[in-house]
Amino acid sequence: MAEQRFKTLHFISLLLLCILSFQISESNQTSEFCYEGESAGCRSPTTSKNLIKGGIVVNAHHQEVADVYIEDGIIVLVQCKIKVGDDVIVIDATRKYVMPGGIDPHTHLGMEFMGSETIDDCFRDQAAALAGGTTMHIDFALPINGILSAGFEAYTKKARMACMDYGLHMAVTKWDEVVSRDMEILVKEKGINSFKFFLAYKGSFMINDELLLKGFKKCKTLGVVPTVHAENGDAVAERQKRIFDLGITGLEGHGLSRLPILEGEATSRAIRLASFVNVPLYVVHVMSIDAMEEIAKAQKSGQEVVGEAVVSGLVLDDYALWDPDFTTAAKYVMSPPIREAGHGKALQAALSIGILKLVGTDHCTFNSAQKALDIDDFRKILNGVNGIEERKHLIWDTMVESGQIFAIDYVRVTSTECARVFNIYPRKGAILAVSDADIIILNPNASFKILSSSHHSRSDINVYKGRKGKGNVEVTIVGGKVVWENGELKVEPDSGRYIEIPPFGHLFSSIGKADVAYLSSLHAPVH
Ligand code: URP
Ligand code: ZN
Ligand code: ZN
């Protein structure tokens, strides 16, 4: 049975390889990479036994010098001086960090958005991620005409070439019996454990408070995590019109209409409604001090609120958004917007003390031609920036190299916390016996430089172009296979798996107790 499946998959992947190699040869502006079995230069496929020797093994709770022994894609032993036979491939990691592969909690791969489609398909984006040390991501699947099951099926097709493991969040954009039932099916049968509610993008994804409450209640019953894009979409739309009517049509209008106060308001509203329902809350892409402070306040009161930073919000500021050259400014458009200098530093501090718990990318890439489609109206510029390949390097340099966090914290915020919040720990996010062998080797003494000529995306835009720093991901191992080494990428279509995520993760551990406390606090004369 398994052999039959393997043969079928092998045939399909060969077929897809032909299609893909044609597509990739069309691109001449980005670095190329090699497919297993296709090129003579490729290393042989699966090596079922590996030993990573002498590195500093870093987990979120502890680091030590140790060897890591891998068999058939699973970590079997983490121990000093492991002895192995000749059939084992040994990778030397002396004086380097051996860490769990990065997990990006927030991506949009191959997404149709604002009337366009992102420039890279899933496979290409995932390959780029692997080159940057990220070995799993959780993507946002969008419903089709509000139908969740259709969105899920469409994503499954889109990701059939996946070269790394991925999970899914599903967005909820309308409410009726079918949506409610589909949520249940997706959780119980399809491995979805989080739903996204957009409080912005009026006229497309945005939902109102009534729907948000219904969604929160359903998430609570199912034991899954509600996530919010927190901006007040009504106020954004009102201010966009005012700014546009004043004659401001260029990109300065983007930041002027999507103010931090509107991010703060929506964050606070979502937090209060989550508290009202007594359900955990996950706030995606926290971009402003205003939103971060609302999260800090809620956490202080004991509420289970997870704040997600994204790399663009941490390391960029809005300087380029004010560039008079439209093409330059358009590259940096995302929502909520990249804020003025000061917000990023405050978000870094919040990450270092645990108010913001983890870092994603919100990776959603368009090229400059796509970004220039609606040059006369800032409201229509495609929202989204890159980051899936750059996140691990930028966070190491910005947070660890600068002394704001330690290597163990780095593992926590770029990998382990995502695995814990979304209930896939310790299969992912750890270097422990039983974890999947998704591992990176990072050399803290080497440096990196980001160029749009050498990144692995098809896009000609890279918002981090020219950035350099310390700490280089030299090796990426996914499912026990070396896929990135010596600056060479060796990926195999259809080698990634959809990871089904179970409900009732650790965020739900105190929810029941709070409900009991609430009920026993009621003094109404109820019989
Ligand atoms: O600008 C962004 N963030 N694009 C992706 C969609 C979203 O809001 O997350
Ligand atoms: Zn969003
Ligand atoms: Zn997003």
Q: Render pLDDT for 280-293 as a digit per residue (tens, 0 to 9).
A: 999 999 999 999 99
| Cα of 335 from ligand 1 centre, angstroms | 5
Stronger pLDDT, 151 or 38, i.e. the higher one: 151
pLDDT at 490 > cutoff 90: yes
pLDDT in tens, 219-234: 999 999 999 999 999 9
* Tokens describing residue 420: 């814990």
Model confidence band, residue 527 (pLDDT cutoffs 50, 70, 90): low
| Cα of 356 from ligand 1 centre, angstroms | 19
> Which pLDDT value is given to residue 38?
42
User: DSSP code of 319?
Assistant: G
Domains of the chain: 102-431+446-466 (3.20.20.140)
Closest-approaching ligand to the CA atom of 227: 2
Which atom of ligand 1 approaches the CA of 335 most closely?
1
Please tell me if the CB atom of residue 384 comes closer than 6 angstroms to any atom of ligand 1.
yes
pLDDT (average), residues 350-358: 98
**Of 430, 427, 424, nearest in space to 408 by CA:** 430
Please tell me if the CB atom of residue 333 comes closer than 6 angstroms to any atom of ligand 1.
no
pLDDT in tens, 9-59: 444 443 433 333 333 233 333 445 555 544 333 334 445 899 999 999 999
> Does residue 197 sit in helix, strand or coil?
strand
One-letter amino acid for residue 472 of the chain: N
Q: Which residues contact 341 (CB under 8 A, 6 or more apart)?
A: 317, 318, 319
Testing ligand 1's pocket by substitution, the residue of 125, 364, 366, 378 carrying the most ligand atoms inside 8 A of its CB is 364
> Which pLDDT value is given to residue 134?
98
> Which pLDDT value is given to residue 16?
39
> Which pLDDT value is given to residue 168?
98
| Cα of 498 from ligand 2 centre, angstroms | 22
Q: Which residues contact 239 (CB under 8 A, 6 or more apart)?
A: 256, 257, 258, 259, 262
> Which pLDDT value is given to residue 34?
57
Nearest CA to ligand 1 atom 1: 334
Closest-approaching ligand to the CA atom of 364: 1
Alpha-carbon gap, residue 53 to 98, rounded angstroms: 9
- For the chain, give the percent of residues with pLDDT over 70: 91
| Cα of 525 from ligand 3 centre, angstroms | 47
Model confidence band, residue 517 (pLDDT cutoffs 50, 70, 90): confident
Alpha-carbon gap, residue 413 to 473, rounded angstroms: 16
Testing ligand 1's pocket by substitution, the residue of 104, 108, 263, 386 carrying the most ligand atoms inside 8 A of its CB is 108
pLDDT (average), residues 139-154: 98
Q: Quote the mean pLDDT of the chain.
A: 91
pLDDT (average), residues 156-174: 97
